[in-house]
Structure 1
Amino acid sequence: MKHEHANHNHDQGHEHKEEDHSGHHHHTVTGKNLFITIVLNVFITTAQVIGGVVSGSLALLSDALHNFSDVMALFIAWWANKVSAKESSEEKTFGYKRVEIVAALFNAAVLAGIGVYLIVEGVAKLMHPHVIDSDIVIYLALLGIVFNFVSVLLIQKDAKENLNMKAAYLHLLSDTMTSVAVLIGGLGMKYFGAYWIDPLITIAIALYLIFTSFSLIKETTAILMQFSPKGLHVKDIEKSVLAFEEVENLHHVHLWQLNDKEVHLEAHVDFKENLPLSEVTAVIARIEEELEEHFGISHVTLQAEFESADHKELIYTKGCSHV
């Protein structure tokens, strides 16, 4: 006897007892705040590009390039947020819920790429430093600090609830800090004539960009590869399910994240007795409640079995068998 039962209450909030999954609930990203931050960053980018060319400052141009990546990150965040809200269809049963994860990965990868480019340019300039108009650097760095800090405050709340917004938030936060570094460099050039500071700061900015993007690349890649969510362990889930007196075995388990909010589980469940379908349904419903309450698993699909001759491994490794 086989039975499949799925918990479709995706929109219901749930609390995860695992630290890494605490506080996950559906959150609406505010389009107005995103729009304001995009406008601010377009202005900063334009001003710093002009200022960088006029002053001859690579650090200012690198900050402008980073700001341009902010604009791209914020625009993609806005677009992905709109697209991910589209409903599912027969052709796209999961809808577009993963578009935000793809966008977050793209943003992080761009950030890392910019970092590598700036290191190459910074090393070249460090070997051959030249005179720079420090006043322009100082004024535009101050402008960047103020505008980026305002942008950070505008999307800070959204970044806590959404991986894609977290990517955009990291762009803005790191650019606020790089603008501070550019300001310090501008002051050093103005009062001490230390023009070698400009490419040195550029290299420091680049290394920071690569560092901040690495963890996000790792996190989004893990989701796209359908790895088990961080903080959830299949053995713990097995122990919880086997605690039900009607259950003999749990096997063929697949555990993954659809996006940064929804965790899915599918598995086969062996029953000790050949129970009526109504009783099986009730037991599976209780298992689903247990898994959602204790592990934050929002979507559960269980295949009920009795004296089935299939493989009984918890994780079936010979092929990619699905429920």
Structure 2
Amino acid sequence: MAHDHDHSGHGAHVHGPTSGKRMWISLVVTLAFCAGEAIAGLFSHSLALLSDAGHNMSDAVALGLAAYAVAAIKKPAAGRHTYGYIRISTLTALFNSSTLVVIAIWIAIEAIGRFRHPEPITGNLMIGVACISVLMNTVIALALAGDAKHSLNSRAAFIHMAGDALSAVAVVLAGVIVHYTGWLYADPIVSLMIAVFIFWSAIGIVRDASDVLMEKAPKGLDVEEMAARIGGIEPVCGVHDVHVWTVGEGRNLLSCHVALPAEFTLLETTAIVAKIDKMLHDDFGIEHATIQPEENGLCKMAHAQTVFCTMEAHAHAGHSH
């Protein structure tokens, strides 16, 4: 039987994304630039520009899905969606990053082909378009930077845009080398560098999103230390069945059993549970904790002061009758 409690006095709040409007505006700008960059890449025969346009298109998809997720997670919990729709943002981040992995592999394959059969490119056009890309992606990345600190959804969109800014810088470098030296291999080399960066960034998001979906403990949270802190609160006798997970967007939840002295009254137990709850919220960022108190030892149903018992204790008591 779980102990029901609230967070009055130290109410946790969700650090939700606040840049939904910025994402929609960024989406329109990115789509317009993607079309222009792709045309420029075809005209100049630049794989670096085409690869960057492809990455920018994935950014447009990412921004669109991220903006949708910002609106979707505000829908209240209802029916079978007891947690609401907050994990839409995690699914969005996973989809966006998985798409980036595919794009990175495609760019790498195309770059290897260019090493075998290099094509002449227009360096001046590469430099001009890439400079615009640097400016656009940097501005959008800065607009999303604040939410990226506490939202996986916004972080995925931010990494898309920041990655494009860095990629565009590399394209400028390749354009300068081609223009002044005529060394055509600079283009596929830069393309490979872009592919590696995209792949590395995407894998990080895939891993974090998968951790949320697999209900792993939040990153950076020491579960053993947290359990020890709970056990250190007097008069807790023991802690077990500790589970910590993230629903999404920084919403960390916990459930656990704590053993208390058998003589504790319900009022005393409620006070201890509230103390544990506040510590978990303030020191470990746990938004909601379900703490099940139980008697220290087997549950003896004859004791009037018994608060709660574990399922195992109930089963044992049933066998004893």
Establish whether TM, by shorter chain, passes 0.5: yes
- Structure 1 letter corresponding to 2:133: G
1:47 shift after superposition: 0.5
Note the alpha carbon deviations across 1:219-258, whole angstroms, 9 max, x for none: 2211111111222223222222222333222111111111
Task: Please point out which of 10, 16, 26 is paired with 2:15.
Answer: 26
CA–CA distance in 1 between the matches of 2:270 and 2:212? 30
Task: Please point out which of 175, 183, 197 is paired with 1:194.
Answer: 183
Q: 1:272 to 1:9 in 2, by over 3 A?
A: same
CA–CA distance in 1 between the matches of 2:12 and 2:253? 15
Kept after mapping to 1: 8 A contact 2:227/2:242: no
Note the alpha carbon deviations across 1:122-143, whole angstroms, 9 max, x for none: 0001111011122322221122
Aligned equivalent of 2:247: 258
Aligned equivalent of 2:118: 129
Task: Please point out which of 145, 149, 152 is paired with 1:163.
Answer: 152
Q: TM-score normalized by structure 2?
A: 0.87
Question: SS of the counterpart of 1:298?
Answer: strand
Q: 1:46 to 1:256 in 2, by over 3 A?
A: same
Question: SS of the counterpart of 1:5?
Answer: coil
- Structure 1 letter corresponding to 2:279: E
Kept after mapping to 1: 8 A contact 2:141/2:161: yes
Percentage of pairs with the same residue: 32
What is the correspondence of 1:1-323 to structure 2 with a 5 Å cutoff? 2-7=1-6, 12-13=11-12, 26-306=15-295, 307-308=297-298
Kept after mapping to 1: 8 A contact 2:123/2:176: yes
Question: SS of the counterpart of 1:247?
Answer: coil
Q: TM-score normalized by structure 1?
A: 0.87
Kept after mapping to 1: 8 A contact 2:10/2:278: no
1:8 shift after superposition: 5.3
Structure 2: stretches of 5+ with no match in the other structure: 300-309, 313-321
Note the alpha carbon deviations across 1:37-68, whole angstroms, 9 max, x for none: 11221111000111111111111100100000
CA–CA distance in 2 between the matches of 1:67 and 1:143? 12
Ranked by relative contact order (alpha carbons within 8 Å, sequence separation 6 or more), the top structure is 1
Which segment drifts farther, 4-13 or 29-38? 4-13
Aligned equivalent of 2:302: none
Q: RMSD in angstroms over aligned alpha carbons?
A: 2.1
Q: How many residues align?
A: 301
Q: 1:67 to 1:9 in 2, by over 3 A?
A: farther
Q: 1:278 to 1:162 in 2, by over 3 A?
A: same
- Structure 2 letter corresponding to 1:160: K
Which aligned runs of 4 or more in structure 1 are off by greater than 6 angstroms?
none
* Greater Rg by CA: 2
Note the alpha carbon deviations across 1:238-287, whole angstroms, 9 max, x for none: 22222233322211111111113111111122221233222222221111
Question: SS of the counterpart of 1:4?
Answer: coil
Question: SS of the counterpart of 1:109?
Answer: helix
CA–CA distance in 2 between the matches of 1:258 and 1:167? 17
